[in-house]
């Protein structure tokens, strides 16, 4: 689980005029690929998003361009006024990589009046092949590497909680010997790939025998970690849903084997262990910040329950400048919480401290990085800060 290299490979092949053809080629038939090619002319292309299967959600894209060397690409993704979150396109730069390890940003502009809302991506790279994505992808192959390596670590046990509709496993890693039951789960919305980069950072911390944060949490807690709640949507290149168009984070009150077996098996496992602390890891398309969302609107709110959430939020705000408390979602009025969402369902079901962590698709507006924006590297670093905040919260 080494961190991605920050180096970029230079093209050392033939002279430019000998290796590129007149027209670029665009492909997406691979793990998490998503794009529709409407037309290509030279180094320019007109594209559109592919909707999630059996759903109207569309926002994620991931595709490969070949024949790119020595040329400035102009890639226009059209029809974005009808995407799931049109507000996500302003001040957004597409992610790009030439080695699929280091992901930078390609200069992008959004015009709501062009062709139903168009994001224009411009990029001139060194390689003949470049990969573009809404955020740095986290492939199912990398997921299996993550689970396999963590499962080999001392004190870690693996559980297959259930099976998805496409026949993939729902993986869970358990560790620790304390009485406090902690559940960390991510990627209910598969296009929010920063959530599994966060999980990689969390597992690196928790399985490192020399890391004092991981050691303390394993002593004081029993941790249950689901790195990817939606393998089918991840592999299919969906933004928000599973294989049959179900938004898993609206299924936690009444999950079914037919529509949401992922939620059903995770919630059943939680019922067996109980939950004291839970974090659901996500990404937000429009808000350029890291923030938390809580459970203030649940009808069964107990005395002192909300104070536990507010205490954790304050600790995290103090621990890392990448977190803030000014931007985020509005608070739900008392007694009106949507219990179909995991954070509110768990707070109501177990009386626990639960929360949703949101990271940006864009950049952190208070601490911008012009080269990468919000990135896999920052997602992983944030994970350790979240775990360190949990150590302090427990005390």
Question: Is 358 one of the catalytic residues?
Answer: yes
The DSSP secondary-structure symbol of 116 reads T
Exposure string of 137-151, with b = 16+ CB inside 10 Å and e = fewer, is: bbbbeebeebbeebe
Of 358, 366, 371, 377, the active-site residue reads 358
List of residues 6+ apart from 271 with CB closer than 8 A: none
Q: Which residues touch 268 (CB under 8 Å, ≥6 apart)?
A: 161
Looking at the chain, list the stretches that DSSP marks H as alpha helix, in order from N- to C-terminal side: 16-19, 140-151, 194-206, 212-220, 231-236, 261-273, 305-319, 342-350, 376-394
**CA–CA separation, 123 and 74 (whole Å):** 7
Q: Could you give the CA distance from residue 117 to residue 112 in angstroms, rounded to a whole number?
A: 4
Q: Is 178 helix (H, G, I), strand (E, B) or coil?
A: coil
Catalytic residues: 358
């Amino acid at each position: 689980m080494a961190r991605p290299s920050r180096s970029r490979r230079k093209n050392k092949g033939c002279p430019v005029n000998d290796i590129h053809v007149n027209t670029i080629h665009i492909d997406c038939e691979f793990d998490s690929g998503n794009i529709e090619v409407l037309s290509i002319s030279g180094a320019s292309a007109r594209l559109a998003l592919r909707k999630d299967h059996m759903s109207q959600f569309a926002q994620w894209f991931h595709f490969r361009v070949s024949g790119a060397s020595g040329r400035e690409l102009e890639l226009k993704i059209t029809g974005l006024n009808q995407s799931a979150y049109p507000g996500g396109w302003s001040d957004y730069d597409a992610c790009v990589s030439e080695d699929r390890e280091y992901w930078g940003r390609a200069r992008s502009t959004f015009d709501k009046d062009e062709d139903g809302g168009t994001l224009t991506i411009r990029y001139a790279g060194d390689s003949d092949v470049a990969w573009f994505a809404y955020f740095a992808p986290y492939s199912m192959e990398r997921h299996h590497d993550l689970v396999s390596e963590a499962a080999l670590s001392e004190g870690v046990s693996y559980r297959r909680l259930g099976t998805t509709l496409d026949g993939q496993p729902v993986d869970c890693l358990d560790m620790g010997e304390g009485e406090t039951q902690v559940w960390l789960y991510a990627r209910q919305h598969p296009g929010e790939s920063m959530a599994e980069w966060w999980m990689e950072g969390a597992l690196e911390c928790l399985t490192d025998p020399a890391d004092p944060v991981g050691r303390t949490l394993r002593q004081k807690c029993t941790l249950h970690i689901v790195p990817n709640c939606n393998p089918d949507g991840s592999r299919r290149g969906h933004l928000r849903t599973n294989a049959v168009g179900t938004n898993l984070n609206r299924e936690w009150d009444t999950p079914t084997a037919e529509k949401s077996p992922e939620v059903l098996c995770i919630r059943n496992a939680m019922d067996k262990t109980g939950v004291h602390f839970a974090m659901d890891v996500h990404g937000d398309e429009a808000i350029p910040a890291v923030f938390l969302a809580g459970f203030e609107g649940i009808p069964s709110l107990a005395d002192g329950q909300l104070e536990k959430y507010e205490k954790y939020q304050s600790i995290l705000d103090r621990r890392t400048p990448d977190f803030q408390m000014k931007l985020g979602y509005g608070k739900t009025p008392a007694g009106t919480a949507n219990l179909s969402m995991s954070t509110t369902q768990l707070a109501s079901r177990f009386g626990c401290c639960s929360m949703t962590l949101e990271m940006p698709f864009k950049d952190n507006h208070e601490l911008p990085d012009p080269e990468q924006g919000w990135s896999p590297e920052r997602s992983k670093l944030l994970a350790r800060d979240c775990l360190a905040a949990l150590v302090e919260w427990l005390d």
